Structure 1
Amino acid sequence: MAHLGDRQFPLLRCRDDGLQREDSSRFDAWGIAHTLTYGLDYYYLEASSEAAHFGAGEQQGYGGFLQWQGDYENWLQVITALRYDGYQLDGETRSVPPEQASISGDRWSPRVTVGVTPFEGFQLYGTYSEGYRAPGLQDVFRGGGAHGGADSYRPNLLLQPETAKNWEAGINVKYDDVLTAGDRLRAKVNVFHTDVEDYIDVDLTVLPRTAINIGDARLRGVEAEMVYDYNWGFLNLAGALIDAKVVSGVYSGQALNNTPLDRFSATIGLRMLEDQLTVGAQYLSVGKITRTSRTNPNAVPVVNDGFDLVNVFANWTINDNLKLDFGVDNVFNTAYTDPQSAWSTTAATEQGKGRTFKLALTGRIGG
């Protein structure tokens, strides 16, 4: 048992094993360049808890996919894919005495992408895809908690997997020799809309706590990125405007946990010593953060200003076998709250990392 002051925390031990295999086949027929990609994957997770049944049991996930890509001349690209996912969870109920329980499920998820290149270097594309996320051991079988005692959580054997339907459209740009010989310009703009059914989260409005399908969720937004490489340096600009909300259930109208926020970044780098040394700086700006209460969904949200960070870095390839990396994150020691931390939904605690120095020396022995 681990200790922090006088409070005891149950220890959760996990063992994770898995395998993955993927292959591709290419051939030409009927004026089309065909690429078949296919693969299988499997994982096994075993977890045990010394106290309060903290999500112990066995979890297995397995799947496979087949994807076909067809390229016709230089202007049309079509990708179709079908993926199969299955899972099985085995654990114990909270009955007295405990009883063994098992849940399982599976699903086929399709994907279709069509890309059109009306002229060289400029592509328009659209994608429809579906996704599937199985519940985990702690979602289904967790029966205790560090802060609320042995009865603070209850297993939920009726928990359903999440399913998602996603639409995307965008533009890809790829040009060489734009301003000077040998330079490269790459850019992408992508808009998306995703609907998630049976979104999984813990209902914090009641006791005991239980992971449930809290309702449906919606994610939509636009992302853009541009990279310009001018041989002796590079410039990378990236930004995103994202709206991610729960649209039904007890948390309807609230932002999703752990989703990216509106952000913009600019990174510039310079290469020296025949490209062996690269030095650069990054500016990162994160938009306003809305903090909502999970225990009281009717509470008025608190909106905090975003934050701006400056980071610098240097990478030196000393020789073929030795590399030195150095960086300073948050150069100006800005106080901020990491929007993807647990604090981000409960308080405006400024717990983000202050000025941080990083140094790494990587060597290779034996060539």
Structure 2
Amino acid sequence: MTTQRYRTALLSGTALLLLTTTGHAQAPVPAADRQTAATYLSPVVVEAETVEDPYARPAATSRIGRDEIDQFGGQSLDDVLRASPGVFTRDSVQNPGIAVNIRGLEGSGRVNMMIDGVRQNFRFTGHEAQGFAYVDPAFIVGVDINRGAVSGAGGAGALAGTVNFRTIGVSDLISKGRNWGAQATATYGTNGAGWSESVAGAYRFNDTVAIAGGISKRDPRNYKNGDGETVPYTVQDIASGILKLEFTPSADHSLKFGGNIYRNEFYANSYFQDIDSRQFTANYTYTPDSDLIDLRVNAHYNRVRMNYDGALTALSAVGRRIDDTGLGFDISNTSRFRLGPLAVSANYGVEYFHDDVDVRNSTAVPDRGVNASGKNAIGSVFSATTFTYGMADLIVGLRYDRYTLDGQGSVVAENPLGMPAGPYDLDRSAGRLNPKVTLALNPLPWLQPFVTYAEAFRAPTISESLVGGSHPSQAGGPRQSFFPNPFLQPEISKGWEIGANIRKNDVLAKGDRLRFKGNYFYNNIDNYITAEMAGGVHFVNNPGTSVVQGVEVQAAYDAGFAFASLGYTYTHSELPSQVNGFGAQSYLPDHIFSATVGARLFDQRLTLGSRLYAVSKSYVGEVNVAPGTDPHEKGYVTVDLFTNFQMTDNLELGANVTNLFDKSYSPALSTSPGIAGLATGRGRTFLVTAKAKF
């Protein structure tokens, strides 16, 4: 189906759903009968308070709900993630992938990015972050963030934390007591945002079988910055689809299958590219009436393919194809029992993932170039056991990770590592035991201080170990040669964290809620890997120990008629500088602040709010600027507005104004489109959204 036909069909379906919804609207439901988690609330009230509530966990965790994504217009996840404490992204205005940064660490698997628990290990070496996840914001219902070492499933090989993008499913579409549900969303934005539409529906055939699916389309154009200048080659053509199947033969057993297809065409890194991402999941749970068994089994297949279709000039990588096929699974169980006065909850299991990377570097020279083919895998055995005695919780985590790297390469004579010229085989493996211990106290019902010591490690990647080829000459200079380094050692993190949670109700008014989480972290990083320019470009382990430390604060207050939230991050990093162009530097701004305030009027059907976002100057490293030049990027402040009106129980209208004052700026940690002096921050943009649910 062509793009135009795809859009026509999707627009027709969306319009039909909107008309059907408004034509059969139910009577308004009194505010007292509705959940307090109305549209556009702060994250603290998006979901019911469960054990997953970040303000109830003695760890550096955050959750982002769909309402918060809608506050930003639902068009991009970068700004949403950047407003979460301790979290940032590599903002590539041309590449639509998400590259999550936690505490100044990004790329090459330092942060495990997942979609529905599926690892996104697609990577390439170039003028970009070394790792992207491709996901359509239209289908995201929430984002779960863990900062620091993770003891359970998903934490294998992750140095700085995990981020999981959860997509829409049956329970998100079907209300309790019904057997079907659907939603349609249509958004139009100025400043190149254009139209974006999505339709999703679910049907429950009986108590055993249910199905959900959806399609989405968006094709933003080039946008203008705050100076009115066009930021070129920011065009995209996104189409995605999702399918979920659920089988529940009994209350004890549940089996779910999922499929997620994402396609996009864009121009980045000097080439016209297309991305085809396909992932499939199978999830089984067994939860009998037993404190000893709470079994979870998850398996996945994930394939991401990138093609370089052409270029504006005759460049050497035309015809490049990078194909990453990933397979993985995890099995875990939770047992609960007592040992005398101790209440014990033990979660334990195994996880494994394997990636097969197949690269054709160009049509002209398919078997040689900067990106290498190869295989990598990590297997892990893990446990996290909570011992509770009175007001104290002791959480003891232990995981053993083992990695393997397998590939082939070739090296020329006089290389920096002194390797003999010619082909060679890479076959490396190593393992490490990583502990994590947390002590949390609950001296008052609303107060929970905690302290943690944790270790983690990250294995070198195929991209880092087997890089090769050369870069075309610049300004008449010589070609730049790249060399592999099969001797790279894993990065290791060891650190402390101290923090506290506060969950207090009825603070200023009856029924209000105050939530607060604050923490300080201090991490030593050994063997940190960066590019080395001396004698030819290659990746190396930097000697010695580098310190990364900082403070993270998140808070939210909700009184029904009004709400507010804030986030603050201070980061001080002594990590060695990374060369932009062979990867990308990842220093966070020293200070990052965001604040949201809002009110609900007319029986809480109308929500009005504003958000302020501010960052200080950010260090980029002396290696990335000319001698004598200030190695810092300027700070900036932006202001957004948002509103939502619940017209009926089935139809809501929303509006957003981003960069209200048309500020001219370039986002920190952004990738330039190659035009000197061009501010890449999006100028003032208006967005209007209609969403129907029934």
User: TM-score by structure 1 length?
Assistant: 0.85
The residue number in structure 1 matching 2:444 is: 119
Counterpart check, 1:49 vs 2:359: yes
Counterpart check, 1:158 vs 2:479: no
Q: d(CA) in 2 for partners of 1:308 and 1:167?
A: 32
Instruction: Rate the CA distance shift 1:306–1:94 in 2: closer, same or farther, 3 A.
Output: same
The residue number in structure 2 matching 1:227 is: 556
The correspondence for 2:406, drawn from 90, 97, 101, is 90
The residue number in structure 2 matching 1:340 is: 669
The residue number in structure 1 matching 2:433 is: 108
Q: d(CA) in 2 for partners of 1:25 and 1:324?
A: 46
Residues 225-283 of structure 1 show CA distances to partners (whole Å, capped at 9, x for unaligned) of 22111123321121121101226x999xxxx9324321111012334565565442210
Gaps in structure 1 of 5+ consecutive residues = none
Mean Cα displacement is larger for which, 148-157 or 75-84?
Answer: 148-157
Instruction: Rate the CA distance shift 1:357–1:206 in 2: closer, same or farther, 3 A.
Output: farther
Counterpart of 1:210 in structure 2: which amino acid? H
How far 1:170 sits from its partner (Å)?
1.6
Mean Cα displacement is larger for which, 154-163 or 289-298?
Answer: 289-298
The residue number in structure 2 matching 1:263 is: 592
Counterpart of 1:22 in structure 2: which amino acid? S
The residue number in structure 2 matching 1:7 is: 315
Q: d(CA) in 2 for partners of 1:70 and 1:305?
A: 48
Counterpart check, 1:68 vs 2:68: no
How far 1:318 sits from its partner (Å)?
6.8
8 Å contact from structure 1 (residues 168, 192) kept in 2: yes
Counterpart of 1:309 in structure 2: which amino acid? T
Q: d(CA) in 2 for partners of 1:302 and 1:151?
A: 24
Residues 175-194 of structure 1 mapped to structure 2, 5 A cutoff: 175-194=504-523
- Aligned sequence identity (%): 28
How far 1:198 sits from its partner (Å)?
0.2
Q: d(CA) in 2 for partners of 1:43 and 1:107?
A: 17
Q: d(CA) in 2 for partners of 1:32 and 1:273?
A: 50
The correspondence for 1:281, drawn from 582, 586, 610, is 610
How far 1:129 sits from its partner (Å)?
0.3
How far 1:340 sits from its partner (Å)?
1.4
Secondary structure in 2 matching 1:119: coil
Residues 341-360 of structure 1 mapped to structure 2, 5 A cutoff: 341-343=670-672, 349-358=678-687
How far 1:16 sits from its partner (Å)?
2.4
Counterpart check, 1:32 vs 2:342: yes
Instruction: Rate the CA distance shift 1:22–1:269 in 2: closer, same or farther, 3 A.
Output: farther
The correspondence for 1:213, drawn from 541, 546, 552, is 541
Q: d(CA) in 1 for partners of 2:614 and 2:680?
A: 17
The residue number in structure 2 matching 1:132 is: 457
Q: d(CA) in 2 for partners of 1:207 and 1:361?
A: 58
Counterpart check, 1:329 vs 2:658: yes
8 Å contact from structure 1 (residues 239, 263) kept in 2: yes
Residues 25-44 of structure 1 show CA distances to partners (whole Å, capped at 9, x for unaligned) of 22233223221112322222
Q: d(CA) in 1 for partners of 2:683 and 2:633?
A: 19
Counterpart of 1:168 in structure 2: which amino acid? E
Secondary structure in 2 matching 1:185: strand
Q: d(CA) in 2 for partners of 1:183 and 1:102?
A: 59
How far 1:300 sits from its partner (Å)?
4.9
Instruction: Rate the CA distance shift 1:283–1:124 in 2: closer, same or farther, 3 A.
Output: same
Residues 298-352 of structure 1 show CA distances to partners (whole Å, capped at 9, x for unaligned) of 75543343100112334566777777665333222212222212459x9875222
8 Å contact from structure 1 (residues 143, 151) kept in 2: no
Q: How many residues align?
A: 357
Counterpart of 2:467 in structure 1: which amino acid? R
Q: d(CA) in 2 for partners of 1:14 and 1:318?
A: 46
Secondary structure in 2 matching 1:59: strand
How far 1:64 sits from its partner (Å)?
2.7
Q: d(CA) in 2 for partners of 1:56 and 1:250?
A: 23
Residues 42-74 of structure 1 show CA distances to partners (whole Å, capped at 9, x for unaligned) of 22212222123412111212213100112222x
Mean Cα displacement is larger for which, 81-90 or 115-124?
Answer: 115-124
Q: d(CA) in 2 for partners of 1:18 and 1:92?
A: 23
Residues 88-112 of structure 1 show CA distances to partners (whole Å, capped at 9, x for unaligned) of 1111121476343212221110001
Q: d(CA) in 2 for partners of 1:258 and 1:269?
A: 33
Instruction: Rate the CA distance shift 1:358–1:245 in 2: closer, same or farther, 3 A.
Output: farther
Q: d(CA) in 1 for partners of 2:327 and 2:512?
A: 44
Mean Cα displacement is larger for which, 178-187 or 297-306?
Answer: 297-306
The residue number in structure 2 matching 1:59 is: 376
Counterpart check, 1:245 vs 2:574: yes
8 Å contact from structure 1 (residues 2, 8) kept in 2: no
Mean Cα displacement is larger for which, 83-92 or 287-296?
Answer: 287-296
Instruction: Rate the CA distance shift 1:45–1:169 in 2: closer, same or farther, 3 A.
Output: same
Counterpart of 1:209 in structure 2: which amino acid? V
The residue number in structure 1 matching 2:33 is: none
Counterpart of 1:352 in structure 2: which amino acid? G
Q: d(CA) in 1 for partners of 2:467 and 2:636?
A: 36
Instruction: Rate the CA distance shift 1:354–1:152 in 2: closer, same or farther, 3 A.
Output: farther
How far 1:207 sits from its partner (Å)?
4.5
8 Å contact from structure 2 (residues 587, 620) kept in 1: no
Gaps in structure 2 of 5+ consecutive residues = 1-307, 362-367, 412-420
8 Å contact from structure 2 (residues 633, 668) kept in 1: no
How far 1:17 sits from its partner (Å)?
2.6
Q: d(CA) in 1 for partners of 2:324 and 2:692?
A: 31
Q: d(CA) in 2 for partners of 1:109 and 1:130?
A: 5
Instruction: Rate the CA distance shift 1:147–1:65 in 2: closer, same or farther, 3 A.
Output: farther
Q: d(CA) in 1 for partners of 2:481 and 2:431?
A: 30
Q: d(CA) in 2 for partners of 1:20 and 1:320?
A: 40
Bigger fraction of residues in strand: 1
Counterpart of 1:3 in structure 2: which amino acid? G
Q: d(CA) in 2 for partners of 1:350 and 1:227?
A: 33
Q: d(CA) in 1 for partners of 2:502 and 2:376?
A: 43
Secondary structure in 1 matching 2:481: coil
Counterpart of 1:338 in structure 2: which amino acid? P
Residues 341-365 of structure 1 show CA distances to partners (whole Å, capped at 9, x for unaligned) of 2459x9875222333455666667x
Instruction: Rate the CA distance shift 1:320–1:29 in 2: closer, same or farther, 3 A.
Output: farther
Counterpart of 2:445 in structure 1: which amino acid? E
Q: d(CA) in 2 for partners of 1:173 and 1:272?
A: 28
Bigger fraction of residues in helix: 2
Q: d(CA) in 2 for partners of 1:318 and 1:147?
A: 58
Q: d(CA) in 1 for partners of 2:657 and 2:327?
A: 36
